[in-house]
Amino acid sequence: MSIEQRILRGRRRATILLLLAVAAGTIAAALFIAQAILISEIVNRVFLQDQTLNLVAPLLLIAFLLLFIRAALIWVEELLAQYSASDVKSDLRDRLIQHIFHLGPTYTRSESSGELVHTLVEGVESLDDYITQYLPAKVLAAVVPAIVFVVVLILDPWTTLVYIVAGPMLLLLLALIGGQTKAIQQRRFREMSWMSAFFLDMLQGLPTLKMFGRSREQAANIREISRHYGNTTMEVLRTAFQTALVLEWSATAATALVALEVSLRLMNGTLPFNIALAVLLLTPEFFLPLRRYALRYHSGARGKAAAERICAVLDKTPPPSAPAPDQESAPARLHSPPLAHIHFQDVSFAYQDGQRRALSHLTMDIPHGRSLALVGSTGAGKSTISNLLLRFINADSGAISVNGAPLKAIEKNQWRSQVAWVPQHPHLFYGSVAGNILLARPHATEDELLAAAQAANAHDFIQELPAGYDTQIGEQGVRLSGGQRQRIAIARAFLKDAPFLILDEATSHLDADSEKLVGDALLRLMQGRTVLIIAHRLALAYKADQIVVIENGRSVQSGTHNSMLAEDGPYRRLVNSYQGV
């Protein structure tokens, strides 16, 4: 399936609008043919047959009427094509966003954020010229010359011999230059995507660059990247100029050849004047769609490069981060009570298509209403367990069940409504403090919002901000400290009030004072809930009802803090290492 078929597939309205645009362009071309024949007849009657303007007035009226209709059709063609492009772009953006959400965090972490943003914004936008200009020009470059060829064949068969020779030559030249253009435009799109990703990376890492005194070096890199991109752009322009020059010369030479042979036969008396004039007027129209197609080939190549990248994202097979369609079509329902018991049975999972194993035949239980802490070295597989329970990934083998029902059979949104999550680095969006907390429950009342913030030990510092809860905190909460960001994330969890709570390294990067405030808030949050604690710093794990030690994706020891501390095992070594013993 071609790229244009893929981006138009399933978009009936956009396809119909585009076909109507092409039809309008075709009718406009047919009207020009009729107009050219009428003009040649009018000139013949006035100048050779000595007819007065009154006698040819009806023909002149028809010619002017055709002119206005043709102008209206050209306007309609552009309007319909623009509507079609708008529909396609809107639908593609929606599909891209939905598909990226469907692929989940596992996919986005493996891709460059800047490149994905460029694809979503600039990539989709570049389809505008592709749909409004390139696709109609491509169809008309085949249809209009064929119509002109048939008309000229009827009027003067000898002239079509020039068309038969010149037409394929122009197409061959366009194909030769077009292949080079496509490669350059694809490279230019990749460079632009990479440059967008690089700029975003530099902006996000600006404090680090300033700290290490590398900002000037990166500024030089940006200049070099911009210069290289500029060179590629100039290469595109040079190719476009070469294409236009070659085709213009070729079309002009072919038109001149037609004028020469028609003039010779006209002077010899073997060709009537009106037919000779009509052929001369129609010949440029035979080559015009090919020349227009050549001029728009570059915008088409740019749009095609973007469309190929868009299709590559849409073709990306969802990793084990989302259930199969049949699983979503008949979701299981959580039994009452909403959440009772979570069981891992022989669960295995590997990243990078099985190349990097994270869990290996893990079996464990998270009892209802109890707290379970997972401890172990970095890379042991603790966060993978969190990702499995958050439905970002699905197990490669084994099973996770909730109240005896397979987790993967429970509808994702329904399951996530039962889960609150406080990660190590919570994401705060650009906007107000209140807006970030209300993300958990947008329709919560002001009293509920304040109660959640107070329970999270966040109310006091929020009140001290310039505008209180309406303070704009900047992208990723850059105007807040790490402890403040963490307490806003805890306030979200309080506001959501879900029965199952996942704490993923929630205190690992905080100073002592912040850790105490966050720790107190977390202890309140844990009350009356089923809790999974993923801990690198063990202070919070000590308070869990049960602790499981994870090594190389396996459970190697489990029990309470005191019972395992009394044993000479992995847990005691972790505690000794944590306490600096």
d(Cα 119, Cα 112) in Å, to the nearest integer? 11
What residues are paired with 503 via a beta bridge?
A: 422, 533
* Residue 441 CB partners (closer than 8 Å, separation 6+): 448, 495, 496
Say whether the peptide bond before residue 337 is cis (omega within 30 degrees of 0): yes
**Secondary structure class of 248 (helix, strand, coil):** helix
347 SS3 class:
strand
CB 70 within 8 A of CB 32: yes
Q: Which residue has the tokens 């308070």?
A: 543
Q: How far is residue 519's CA from residue 508's CA, in Å, rounded to a whole number?
A: 11
Can you tell me the distance from the alpha carbon of 335 to that of 158, in angstroms, rounded to the nearest whole number?
84
Kindly tell me if the per-residue pLDDT of 360 is higher than 80.
yes
In 3D space, the residue among 507, 581, 365, 530 whose CA is nearest the CA of residue 565 turns out to be 581
pLDDT band (50, 70, 90) for residue 506:
low
What are φ and ψ of residue 560, in 5° steps? -85, 170
Q: What's the rounded Cα separation, in Å, for the pair 453 and 445?
A: 13
b/e for 344-377, b at 16 or more Cβ within 10 A? beebbbbbeeeeebbbbebebebebeebbbbbbe
Buried b (16+ CB within 10 A) or exposed e, 260-299: ebbeebbeeeebbebbbbbbbbbbbbbbbbbbbbbbbbbb
Q: Which of 10-14, 131-135, 371-375, 376-380 bottoms out in mean pLDDT, i.e. has the lowest?
A: 376-380
How many CA atoms are closer than 13 Å to the CA of 188, on its beta-carbon side? 24
Given a contact cutoff of 8 angstroms between Cβ atoms, the answer to whether 320 and 395 are in contact is yes
At 192-231, the pLDDT tens digits run: 666 766 666 666 666 556 555 666 666 677 777 777 767 7
Sheet with 342-351, strands from edge to edge, namely 356-366, 342-351, 397-402, 405-406
d(Cα 93, Cα 115) in Å, to the nearest integer?
15
* Strands in 352-418 per DSSP E: 356-366, 371-375, 397-402, 405-406
The residue among 94, 178, 83, 96 whose CA lies nearest residue 131 is 83
- Quick one: CA dihedral 105, 110, 114, 120, positive or negative? negative
| pLDDT, tens digit (0-9, with 9 covering 90-100), for 226-281 | 777 677 767 766 776 777 777 777 788 888 888 898 888 888 888 899 899 999 99
User: What is the identity of the amino acid at 359?
Assistant: L
Task: Judge whether residue 284 has pLDDT over 60.
Answer: yes
Model confidence pLDDT, tens digit, residues 536-571: 777 778 888 899 888 888 888 888 888 888 888 888
Weakest mean pLDDT among 39-53, 196-210, 483-497: 196-210
Supply the pLDDT for residue 305: 77
| Contacts of 444 by beta carbon, 8 Å cutoff, 6+ apart | 438, 452, 495
Strand partners, 402: 342, 405
148 has pLDDT over 80: yes
Q: How confident is the model at residue 405 (pLDDT cuts 50, 70, 90)?
A: confident
Domains and CATH numbers, the chain: 12-315 (1.20.1560.10), 342-418+498-578 (3.40.50.300)
> Is residue 387 very low, low, confident or very high in pLDDT (cuts 50, 70, 90)?
confident
Query: What SS3 class is residue 431?
Result: coil
CB 14 within 8 A of CB 8: yes
CB 22 within 8 A of CB 139: yes
* pTM metric for this prediction: 0.67
Q: What CA–CA distance (Å, rounded) separates 454 from 540?
A: 21
The pLDDT confidence band at residue 477, using thresholds 50, 70 and 90, is low
> For position 424, what pLDDT does the model report?
79
Report strand pairing: 405-406 vs 419-422: unpaired
345 Rama class: left (phi>0) / alpha (psi -120 to 50) / beta: beta
Give the mean pLDDT of the chain.
Answer: 81
Q: What span, in angstroms and rounded, lies between the C-alpha atoms of 221 and 226?
A: 8
pLDDT at 524 over 50: yes
Q: Could you give the CA distance from residue 262 to residue 159 in angstroms, rounded to a whole number?
A: 8
Tell me 317's DSSP state. Answer: P
How many residues can be counted in the chain?
A: 581
Most confident of 75-79, 312-316, 545-549: 75-79
Instruction: Look up residue 422 and give its two tokens.
Output: 């406080």
- Is the CB of residue 116 less than 8 Å from the CB of residue 100? yes
Are 378 and 526 in contact, with CB atoms under 8 Å apart? no
3-state secondary structure of 476: helix
Spatial neighbors of 119 by CB under 8 A, at least 6 apart, are: 96, 193, 306, 309, 310, 313
Q: How many helices (H) and strands (E) does the chain have?
A: 22, 10
Neighbours of 111 (CB within 10 A): 15
201-209, long-range: CB < 8 A, 24+ apart: 201/112, 201/114
For the record, the structure tokens of 462 come out as 């929020």
